[in-house]
């Protein structure tokens, strides 16, 4: 399989994966194309040709991707074309969203753990069912370790970009 064929297959596979992030199929393919094009950028006409879609459809999805801070464009001196790339802050923004979600989930599970502990104190006196707190502890540890690892990765990305 030649490299161009691999790239097209990967654009499709990555696009299908990104549809899970509530992206329209074509918007996901645009992002995939830009990811696999790197920092050189892709022109509007190249996207139309590559993805075999109408100009208005590509334009609509590019506008959406720009408005959601996933895509940016740049121009070259003496060239009227716009070159689209992945927003350099895109991955950092995704990481921030993940960390915020995990922090909120951690707060919720701390409340659940506290409730279960209080329930167990009363249940011990009455002989009722007691919760297994070990799962809660393990899940909180997982959230903490995952957040820490992702924060390290974010710091590494930020140091590369500065």
- Per-residue pLDDT tens digits for 21-39: 889 999 999 999 999 998 7
Compute the half-sphere exposure of residue 95: CA atoms within 13 Å on the CB side of its CA.
Answer: 18
The partner residues of 83 in beta bridges, in order of sequence, read 43, 74
Spatial CA neighbour of 95 closest among 153, 9, 37: 153
Query: Which architecture, in CATH terms, is 3-86?
Result: Orthogonal Bundle (1.10)
Q: For the chain, give the percent of residues with pLDDT over 70.
A: 99
- Counting DSSP H helices and E strands in the chain, the numbers are 6, 3
1 pLDDT higher than 80? no
- Per-residue pLDDT tens digits for 82-123: 999 999 888 888 899 899 999 999 999 999 999 999 999 999
- List % helix, strand, coil for the chain (3-state, nearest 5): 75, 5, 20
Mean pLDDT of the chain: 92
Judge if pTM exceeds 0.75.
Answer: no
């Amino acid at each position: 399989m030649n490299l161009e064929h691999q790239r097209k297959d990967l654009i499709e596979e990555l696009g299908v994966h990104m549809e899970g992030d509530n992206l329209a199929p074509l918007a996901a393919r645009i992002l995939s194309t830009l990811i696999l094009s790197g920092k050189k950028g892709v022109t509007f006409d190249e996207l139309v040709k590559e993805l075999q879609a109408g100009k208005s459809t590509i334009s609509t999805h590019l506008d959406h991707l720009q408005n959601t801070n996933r895509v940016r464009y740049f121009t070259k001196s003496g060239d009227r074309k716009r070159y689209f790339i992945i927003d350099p802050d895109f991955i950092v923004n995704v990481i921030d969203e993940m960390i915020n979600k995990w922090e909120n989930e951690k707060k919720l599970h701390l409340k659940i753990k506290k409730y279960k502990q209080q329930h167990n104190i009363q249940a011990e006196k009455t002989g009722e069912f007691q919760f297994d707190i070990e799962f809660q502890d393990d899940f909180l540890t997982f959230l903490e370790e995952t957040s820490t690892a992702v924060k390290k990765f974010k710091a590494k990305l930020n140091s590369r970009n500065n």
